[in-house]
Amino acid sequence: MTSETQYSVSPPLATPGTVAVNPRKRGRTACTRCKSRKQKCDDQYPICSNCRKSGAQCDKADVADEASSIAYTRALEERVAFLENKLAQIPTPEATETPRETASNYSVPSGRDKNALSDVVAHVSLGNFEAPAYVGPSSGLSLALNLGEMVQATVWNKMLPDIQDGTAGNQANCINPSPRCITVEDLLAHSVKEPPSDEQGSQMLKAYTSQLHSKYPFLEPEELWKLHSERLTLAAKPTQTLTRIERFGIFKLYLVYAMGATLVQLTQRGPVFSPEALYITALQHISAARESRTVQNIEAMTLLVMFHLRSTSSHGLWYMIGLAMRTSIDLGLHRAAHEQNLDGPIVQRRRRLFWSVYSLERTIAVSLGRPLSIADNQIDVELPNTIINGSPSASVIVGNDITLALVLFKLRRIESKIHHSVYRTDKTLDALRPKLDRLHQELKFWRDSLADWIPAGHSDLNYALLLYNRALRLLIQPFLPILPATDPFYGLCMRAAGDICQAHKRLHQTLDYGHSFIAVQTVFVAGVTLVYGLWTQGNALWSVALSNDIRACSLVLFVMSERAPWVRKYRDAFEVLVNAAMEKLQDNEAGLAEMASAQMRAGKASGATECCGMQNPDLSGNETTTRPIDSSSNQFLMSEDGGIAVGEFEGAWPMVAELANWIDQDTEGGSPVWMPNFELLQSLSGTWNE
């Protein structure tokens, strides 16, 4: 973890010829007309509401550019002086470096390397290719560093395998000092040189609108297709001549391209555009969204979060989506009163943006076990319309029907109630038990209403039911330690967890399904819930259906680990837990942690291949039988990885040990132990630090 002192910026250094600047004086934000009339100038951009109503010309965009330019120049002078001072304090490597230090340089970056990283991030993330904005102590450096970690994991560790090692002469210019040193020049050299062809771009746009926009519809499909048609014209313009609106349009288009490319590459074996290259190209124009407290700023952060949900790094997502939500609150997107005197299309766009951010923020926070940014009783803005454009032909345009998104927004509100009512530390589970019935009734009402929104047999219905089962597991799982196996809610939770695993198995049998870290969390936690029930209830809960559900979870984690190596520790941990639970069914009375440890020491854990041939104990006490694997599962097993080595399991052991504390708990000895949240499991496994 980077300390704040490593990125602190010293106070400005005064020189004899400089004039002291009042640090408390705010930059001008009002347009000239509002300033002269002493009216309050709102945050509408590029034309304020007062000028729009009167039809007068508004210079708000010019004022914003002028203010950021002055602030940038002042901040740049401060930064140069600070870096010169820090550079003078660094001893030369030849005089101080020992062999031990040399060896450690490739694992733990020095303070100087990290400062260099923050500078590069400021260049990349805030548009220093044209007219950059300085990232100072009060200007959002933490956001830049979160983005820097994303860029590092997504691009530097994955994108450029052909970059040669950095030499001693240019090592100081490296972003990530390692055997594969990549400089800023290397990073820029691997961005997209030419825009995608019409066919390639259309394919990526269609993938985005069908799979992502349908759930988070804060962009307008017509605008995206217009930007796609103008991509060659925009690419031919010199960067300095592009307007702020044009630069932000390029940023949005290429991030949409990048997300579409992550989905397209799942089905195409031939050459496709690199999502990371498209991502870097988009970041070169993010300066158009750098102005805080604007709708464009919220859209930019939301696009970044959506991209990194499906990248190799999801670290920092909670911070960034939280900032997007807080900025939305700052602009009043959550209050109906702030919609007065606004045109209908603007109101609908604000609503789509707010509820998309709301849905993402709720999903990420609940998955990680983190607090929510805003209470639901503070929100009174209505949901958007089901059709983006009100014209008669609007529903014909692909992506303009956002019915699925509205259905999911309603489910997120119920999940938010569950998170607020159940996942709390000020009351015992016994005291919270009466809330189960009411919240379950709300979920059932939502499920029954799906028929009014989504036609039977539509693929969106299967996805909605998957999320229903996820919410059901979220509601009931904390109460499992205090519920008897005969309680209807116990069986309901087991069935919901099993349906989650089976639904994801079916999704992974379609070639165009791309998973996110949320999907990994959903499947893994559902599988662990099944193992918990099997471990605590034994033969009383065992059934062929349970066996198939556990097998489905193992298969899905296996497929995910083939596409994303960071999932392997979750796959390995799940296999250890399953094998230990299966041994217990054979009259082994040892604890889960003890049995799992014995397996690893003896090298018994054999990975997904063994799990998928799972033994099914006969309840009559006769010999065990092995259930055959259905033919649809064979495609998941045909891999060069014939099993998981014992050494690989050692990395999953901290996660197994933590889960064992929950599964092995004595429910009669006091207050039940909660299942470890996914964020804790991530930190134990080192998932996003590799």
Q: Give the tens place of pLDDT for each residue, 294-330.
A: 899 899 989 989 998 876 555 678 888 988 999 899 9
Average pLDDT over residues 343-372: 94
**Are 55 and 72 contacting, i.e. CB atoms less than 8 angstroms apart?**
no
**What is the per-residue DSSP string for 549-585?**
HHHHHHHHHHHHHHH-GGGHHHHHHHHHHHHHHHHHH
Boundary (domain end) residue, out of 232, 260, 289 = 289
Residues 303 and 260 in one domain: no
> What is the pLDDT of the chain when averaged over all its residues?
72
**Model confidence at 389: pLDDT above 60:** yes
Residue 455 token pair: 């036609």
Structure tokens given for 14: 């005064």
The answer to whether the beta carbons of residues 624 and 615 sit under 8 Å apart is yes
Residue 289 is predicted with a pLDDT of 76
How much is the pLDDT for 418? 96
Query: What pTM was estimated for this model as a whole?
Result: 0.68
Tokens 């230990």 belong to residue: 580
Residues 504 and 633 occupy one common structural domain: yes
What pLDDT is attached to residue 400?
81
Q: Are 418 and 475 in contact (CB under 8 A)?
A: yes
Q: Domain check: are 544 and 650 in the same one?
A: yes
- Residue 72 located in a structural domain: yes
Please check whether residues 355 and 454 belong to one and the same domain: no
CB-side exposure of 282: number of CA atoms within 13 Å? Answer: 23
Query: In the 3-class helix/strand/coil scheme, how is 197-248 assigned residue by residue?
Result: CHHHHHHHHHHHHHHHHCCCCCCCHHHHHHHHHCHHHHHHCCHHHCCHHHHH
Model pLDDT for residues 130-151, shown as the tens digit of each residue: 333 333 333 344 444 454 444 4
Query: Do 504 and 534 have their domain in common?
Result: yes
Q: Which helix (H) or strand (E) holds 32?
A: helix 32-37
What pLDDT, on a 0 to 100 scale, did the predictor assign at position 684? 53
In a domain, 396, yes or no: no
> Which of 353-362, 387-396, 534-543, 650-659 is most confident?
353-362
Instruction: Clarify whether residues 521 and 625 are in a common domain.
Output: yes
Q: Is residue 101 part of a domain?
A: no
Instruction: With a cut of 70, say whether residue 190 has pLDDT above it.
Output: no
Q: Which residue has the higher pLDDT, 268 or 330?
A: 330
Judge if 456 and 520 occupy the same domain: no
Q: Which residue, 483, 511, 534, sits at the end of a domain?
A: 483
Share of the chain above pLDDT 90, in %: 34
Question: Within this chain, do residues 545 and 655 fall inside the same structural domain, yes or no?
Answer: yes
- How far, CA to CA in Å, does 425 sit from each of 361, 367, 419, 658? 21, 17, 12, 20
pLDDT for position 266: 74
Give ∠ CA 570-576-582 in degrees, rounded to 5.
130
Helix (H, G, I), strand (E, B), or coil: what is residue 670? coil
Whether 195 and 338 map to the same domain: the answer is no
What confidence score (pLDDT) does residue 205 get? 94
pLDDT of 175 reads 34
Complete DSSP assignment for 298-327: HHHHHHHHHHHTTSS--TTHHHHHHHHHHH
Angle (CA) 354 356 358, round 5°: 70
Cis bond before residue 46 (omega within 30° of 0) = yes
For range 382-403, the mean pLDDT: 72
Q: 174 - beta bridge partners?
A: 183
Can you give the pLDDT at residue 453?
Answer: 92
Distance CA 610, CA 623 (A): 18
Contact present, 586 and 556 (Cβ < 8 Å) = no
In a domain, 357, yes or no: yes
Candidate from 330-339, 381-390, 544-553, 655-664 with smallest mean pLDDT: 655-664
Q: How far apart are CA 524 and CA 492, in angstroms?
A: 18
The answer for 55, left when phi > 0, alpha when psi is -120 to 50, beta otherwise, is left
Same domain, 585 and 626: yes
What does the chain come to in residues?
690
Q: Which residues constitute the domain of residue 346?
A: 291-382
Number of Cβ within a 10 Å radius of residue 226: 12
- Give dist(CA 3, CA 109) in Å, integer: 13
- 411-463: per-residue pLDDT in tens? 999 999 999 999 988 888 899 999 999 999 999 999 999 999 999 888 899 99
Residue 485 to residue 121: CA distance in whole angstroms: 53
| The pLDDT of residue 548 | 95
Query: Sorting pLDDT into bands at 50, 70 and 90, what band is 122?
Result: very low
Query: Are 253 and 156 contained in the same domain?
Result: no
150 and 46 in a common domain:
yes
Mean pLDDT is lowest, of 174-178, 253-257, 498-502, 661-665, for 174-178
Higher pLDDT: 630 or 369? It is 369
Contact 617, 586 (CB under 8 A): yes
Q: What is the pLDDT of residue 607?
A: 42
With b for 16 or more beta-carbon neighbours within 10 A and e for fewer, the 264-301 pattern comes to: bbbeeeeebbbbbbbbbbbbbbbbbbbbeebbbbbbbb
**Cα 121-127-128 angle, rounded to 5 deg:** 80
Between 608 and 194, the higher pLDDT residue = 194
Q: Total domain count for the chain?
A: 5
* CB neighbour list of residue 689: distance below 8 Å, 6 or more residues apart: 315
